[in-house]
A and B are shown apart, each in its own frame.
Chain A
């Protein structure tokens, strides 16, 4: 039986259960249906071609997400999106300052506003939030999918959510005022 997280099986058995999620992730990255379809198609072609190099028993989901992400970053829209990325150091973590009253309100904000804020995020922040919150990947899986150390996963995720809260705070203020 196909088992997408079991990491053994034929390409079709491992890949097709991930199709809808990969497509959704591609939509978030490209924000364009035609580009998302092209991205998913190219990802499947590359993954199928390189499947012999995939080691059975290792993490197939992280492997194919990595192919999709790298394909996106080398595509024209990916290059456009990554132009705006800030230089990111592996900065040491900061103590958090409590934003509780605001955060509680942010949690109640409408889905459309959260989608809009996600779309506004730089692509490296958007992807890490999606991999963690939507795909429910562990830090270890994200580290494999993006190709960065776990420490960087943690600090990037923390910064991404901080920017997300700032964007949502601005939207909330716009609603309140």
Chain B
């Protein structure tokens, strides 16, 4: 038996989202149409069963939330929300002068380096997220001949990895990342317990400074080095010293030019 009532109306009724002007009319219809009434009842039951089943997932041992994970999130929020200047310790006038000074510097830096900073900030976030992740890489191998082929078919470009046998650096693995909506490679290296991320992405106009010159900087305690080779941009980020970042950059530049 069928009825000419549209399924959407039944769904909206069950979801308590039927517009008020249609509600009374539909409830009248339910009183007279056995088929629709039974269907509405079944859908109410189904909705309730789905809700209970979906909520059960979080209670299962496989997925239950780990307290240390929640704590980590709470701490990272509190840390990021903490004001950098304790204004209560400064007279209001001095605080205002400091604020104006900082704004002036920020505007100046923003206009000069906004594209670069935004690009670097995004990659820094990716690096930090990788460091905090339980699964930092998707392909785990110290062998460049395993890591490089893993990216085949996943990236619209190819790249070379350096031979690290005689160097202090160790390859850990790699994963696919998205930078400004384009796929790129993130490679993870290790040096004396420090981890270094190498991002390889296609060069995009206006995202990073153009040109092949090596651009070295530091940001929030991280050393960053960026350069372009061919159509690709390389960015190395680590909390180790700038000399270590530069040395890895040299190895990458040498292998890319082969």
Contacts and interface: CB of A to CB of B under 8 A. Distances in A.
Interface of A: 10-12, 15-16, 19-20, 23-24, 27-28, 33-38, 40-42, 44-45, 48-49, 74-76, 93-100, 103-104, 106-109, 111-112, 114-115, 118, 129-130, 132-134, 136, 138-139, 154-155, 157-158, 161-162, 164-165
A106 B38 CA distance: 13
> Which applies to chain A's interface (DSSP): helix, strand, loop or mixed?
helix
Contacts of B6: 93-96
Contacts of A136: 51
B53 A115 contact: yes
Contact of A34 (B11, B49, B135): B135
Given A12-B77, A20-B58, A33-B63, 6 more contacts: A23-B58, A44-B76, A74-B178, A99-B42, A139-B12, A161-B11
Contacts of B48: 107
Interface stretch (B125-133, B159-167, B196-204, B208-216): B125-133
Given A98-B35, A115-B56, A130-B54, A45 B138 contact: no
Contact of B54 (A104, A134, A157): A134
Contacts of A139: 12, 15, 17
Interface in B200-257: none
B39 A98 contact: yes
Interface residues of B, number: 60
> Which applies to chain B's interface (DSSP): helix, strand, loop or mixed?
helix
Contacts of B12: 139, 154
B81 A154 contact: no
A154 B77 contact: no
Contacts, number: 168
B77 A33 contact: no
Contact of A19 (B8, B38, B73): B73
A121 to B, nearest CB: 11
Contacts of B17: 138-139
A155 B8 contact: yes
Given A41-B73, A129-B50, A133-B47, A12 B38 contact: no
